């Protein structure tokens, strides 16, 4: 992370006395209080200081760049009858792949910063408030003139997804300038998690920042259409630490079949040749296949009673990243991710409000 000489002087003062005020800093350094406040604001944006009292950040951080929206979920009381009205229940909760991953990470205890966009509307207010309350740092979430995005999902009586409609136009406003404003924060992060919903230019720019700073980057492809549109960005000149597709997304990115485990391994090998260190392919009830420099390993799913499948993948990715920062190897991190996913689908929430590291480890 790049700090100016004056910023380094302020950090040294804060290490000696975290409760020192801006007036005292200004007097010590022979400058004005207004100038000190500008430097303190910059240190906050870089993730060096946290909150009131100018507490210095010590825990490793993850930066998540991706969508934030409101989820609308409707669940039928009985098996869905197409082209007809189905009695059921509906809920509205904050969502978005990037935002969900960030909230899961924060609830697990990882310091997490979100770079995103929400609308300047009531839904945007609610998303921001809920995300911040969960412990996510939202100083890099911008307000857009577009409406806050929505994800509308229809679930069958057994909790399985029937159909979903995603309106993520606000996510298109996450541009390179917004990511550039967070470049020092990204450069100081332990991990960068990227949502495949990002505009192509923004995703490419974020990957380039990670490469330049030597920061490990993880890409979540999100869907087959997004995987198809972003496949060319997965290239040797932009090496990824990990990518987390399902079978269909893996096939789309590589142009190879992925219907059998042997085909999944071959497709993963193709991605290794394109600079991806770890390919973590989700296989539904069969668990996942984690392929890396030491070979491929099947990681079993954790059994769970399905209430709602929404958010399982986001929980798995967040838990995987959290476990890596806790010092776990990639196989153990993947198993930890499966445990978090199982806990998520066993409840009605896209992100479990009671999610903790202790709760996840109790299921392993």
Nearest to 173 by CA among 208, 201, 138, 137: 201
Q: What is the DSSP annotation of 179-238?
A: HHHTHHHHHT-SEEEEETTS-HHHHHHHHHHHHHHT-EEEEE--SHHHHHHHGGG--TTS
Q: Does residue 57 carry a pLDDT above 60?
A: yes
Q: Where exactly does CATH 1.10.10 map onto the chain?
A: 5-55
CATH 3.40.1190.20, the chain: domain bounds: 60-67+95-146+167-361
Whole-number pLDDT of residue 159: 86
For strand 137-144 and strand 111-119, is the pairing parallel, antiparallel, or unpaired? parallel
Q: Which position among 158, 175, 314, 329 bears the catalytic label?
A: 314
Arch. (CATH architecture) of 60-67+95-146+167-361: 3-Layer(aba) Sandwich (3.40)
Mean pLDDT of the chain: 93
Per-residue model confidence (pLDDT) at position 25:
92
Confidence of residue 2 (pLDDT cuts 50, 70, 90): low
Check residue 74 and report its DSSP letter. Answer: E
- Is the per-residue pLDDT at 52 higher than 60? no
pLDDT score for 299: 98
Kindly tell me if the per-residue pLDDT of 55 is higher than 70. Answer: no
Give per-residue pLDDT as tens, 306-332: 888 889 999 999 999 999 988 899 999
Identify the DSSP state of 57.
P
Which stretch of 44-53, 178-187, 306-315 has the lowest confidence by average pLDDT?
Answer: 44-53
Give catalytic status of residue 314 as yes or no: yes
Per-residue pLDDT at 219: 98
What is residue 53's predicted lDDT score, i.e. its pLDDT? 62
Distance CA 268, CA 256 (A): 10
List, in sequence order, every beta strand (DSSP E) within 82-208.
88-95, 111-119, 137-144, 149-155, 161-167, 191-195
- Closest by CA to 169, choosing from 149, 152, 151, is 149
Determine the pLDDT at residue 130: 97
| C-alpha distances in Å from residue 20, one per residue of 11, 12, 25, 46, 53 | 11, 11, 7, 20, 7
* Edge-to-edge strand ranges of the sheet holding 69-76: 88-95, 69-76, 149-155, 161-167
pLDDT value, residue 308: 86
Q: Which own/partner pairs from 299-303 qualify as long-range (CB within 8 Å, at least 24 positions apart)? A: 299/331, 299/334, 299/335, 299/338, 300/335, 300/338, 301/338, 301/341, 301/342, 302/338, 302/339, 302/341, 302/342, 302/363, 302/364, 303/342
Residue 268: how many CA atoms within 13 Å on its side-chain side?
A: 30
Mark 262-274 as b/e (b = at least 16 C-beta within 10 Å).
Answer: ebbbebbebbeeb
Domain 5-55 has CATH 3.30.70: no
pLDDT of residue 56: 63
Rounded mean pLDDT, 332-352: 96
Q: Tell me the pLDDT tens digit for each residue of 192-251.
A: 999 999 999 999 999 999 999 999 999 999 999 999 999 999 999 999 999 999 999 999
Amino acid 51: pLDDT: 62
Cβ 289 vs Cβ 245: under 8 Å = no
């Amino acid at each position: 992370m790049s700090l100016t000489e004056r910023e380094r002087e302020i950090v040294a003062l804060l290490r000696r006395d975290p409760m020192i005020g801006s007036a005292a800093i200004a007097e010590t350094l022979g400058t004005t209080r207004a100038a000190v406040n500008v430097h303190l604001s910059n240190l906050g944006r870089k993730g060096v200081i946290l909150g009131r009292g100018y507490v210095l950040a010590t825990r490793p951080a993850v930066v998540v760049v991706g969508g934030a929206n409101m989820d609308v979920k409707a669940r039928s009381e009985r098996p869905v009858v197409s082209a007809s009205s189905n009695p059921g229940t509906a809920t509205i909760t904050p969502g978005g792949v990037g935002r969900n991953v960030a909230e899961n990470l924060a609830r697990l205890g990882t310091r997490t910063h979100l770079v995103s966009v929400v609308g300047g509307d009531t839904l945007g207010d609610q998303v921001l408030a809920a995300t911040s309350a969960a412990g996510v740092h939202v100083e890099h979430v911008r307000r857009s003139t577009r409406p806050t995005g929505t994800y509308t999902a229809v679930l069958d009586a057994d909790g399985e997804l029937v159909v979903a409609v995603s309106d993520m136009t606000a996510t298109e406003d996450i541009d390179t300038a917004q990511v550039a404003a967070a470049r020092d924060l990204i450069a100081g992060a332990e991990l960068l998690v990227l949502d495949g919903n990002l505009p192509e230019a923004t995703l490419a720019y974020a990957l380039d920042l990670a490469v330049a700073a030597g920061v490990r980057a993880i890409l979540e492809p999100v869907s087959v259409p997004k995987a198809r549109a972003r496949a060319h960005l997965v290239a040797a000149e932009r090496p990824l630490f990990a990518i987390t597709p399902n079978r269909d997304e893996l096939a789309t990115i590589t142009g190879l079949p992925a219907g059998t485990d042997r085909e999944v391994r071959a497709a993963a090998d193709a991605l290794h040749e394109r600079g991806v260190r770890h390919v973590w392919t989700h296989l539904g009830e069969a668990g996942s296949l984690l392929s890396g420099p030491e070979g491929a390993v099947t990681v079993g799913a954790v059994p769970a009673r399905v209430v709602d499948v929404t958010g399982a993948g986001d929980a798995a990715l967040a838990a995987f990243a959290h476990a890596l920062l806790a010092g776990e190897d990639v196989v153990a991190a993947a198993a930890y991710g499966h445990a978090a996913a199982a806990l998520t689908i066993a409840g009605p929430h896209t992100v479990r409000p009671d999610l903790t590291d202790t709760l996840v480890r109790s299921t392993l």
